[in-house]
């Protein structure tokens, strides 16, 4: 989803309706580590809009809205009530159980599972194969960072010319 679509979507909600939004990047290992868990939230909370915004492809519009969303890093998980963020996930450890607890704490909604209340472990709270497929990608993007390579070569050139002038 693009930032413009997100703003339109959040603005169209009735007061009291919540949406969960993840700002992520495919090059970020932390974003990709939590992707399958985030994908599973849609299965457990089918009545809540679960939205993901890839910030790298939205860099121009996203950077102008960073202050509005309070997002300076990825991954960043927020719960919105209408157009206003009401809560931010602020834990270093991310797994499905913690994300579920976070949502239940801030949104008055029950998890929809096929488990009986007497069962202590439920397969619905496990990451399934379909959660690794999508909609949020789970594979870390590994592209060559040409700007970094150019910067290193430039620094090596500067150091080499300085050393050469000192030796001569």
Mean pLDDT of the chain: 79
Q: Is residue 72 part of a domain?
A: yes
Q: What is the pTM of this model?
A: 0.70
* Res. 158: pLDDT tops 90: yes
Based on the structure, what is the number of domains in the chain? 1
- The 3-state DSSP class for residue 79 equals strand
pLDDT at 3: 57
Instruction: Locate 139 and state its tokens.
Output: 């594979």
- Categorize the per-residue pLDDT at 119 as very low, low, confident or very high, splitting at 50, 70 and 90: very low
Which CATH number is 103's domain given?
3.40.30.10
Count of C-beta atoms within a 10 Å radius of residue 134:
12
| More confident call, 127 vs 60 | 127
Residue 151 in any domain: the answer is: no
In a domain, 161, yes or no: no
In a domain, 158, yes or no: no
User: Residues of the chain with pLDDT > 90: what percent?
Assistant: 10
| 95-114: pLDDT as tens digits | 888 888 888 888 877 776 65
Summarize the confidence of residues 38-66 as an average pLDDT: 77
Long-range CB contacts (within 8 A, 24+) of 114-122: none
The continuous run of DSSP H or E covering 24 comes out as strand 18-24
* pLDDT score for 153: 96
70-92, pLDDT tens digit by residue? 667 779 899 888 878 888 888 88
β-strand partners of 67: none
Whole domain around residue 24: which residue ranges?
3-143
Q: Is residue 29 part of a domain?
A: yes
In a domain, 157, yes or no: no
């Amino acid at each position: 989803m693009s930032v413009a679509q997100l703003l339109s979507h959040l603005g169209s909600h009735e007061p009291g309706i919540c949406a969960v939004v993840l700002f992520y990047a495919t090059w970020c290992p932390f974003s990709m580590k939590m992707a399958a868990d985030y994908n599973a939230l849609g299965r457990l909370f089918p009545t809540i809009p679960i939205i993901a915004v890839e910030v790298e492809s939205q860099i121009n519009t996203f950077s102008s809205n960073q202050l509005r969303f309070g997002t300076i890093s990825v991954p960043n998980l927020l719960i919105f009530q209408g157009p206003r963020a009401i809560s931010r996930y602020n834990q270093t450890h991310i797994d499905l159980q913690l994300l579920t607890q976070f949502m239940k704490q801030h949104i008055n909604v029950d998890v929809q599972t096929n488990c009986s209340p007497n069962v202590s472990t439920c397969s619905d709270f496990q990451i399934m194969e379909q959660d690794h497929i999508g909609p949020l990608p789970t594979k870390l993007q590994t592209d060559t960072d040409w700007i970094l390579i150019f910067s290193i070569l430039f620094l090596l050139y500067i150091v080499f010319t300085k050393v050469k002038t000192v030796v001569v």
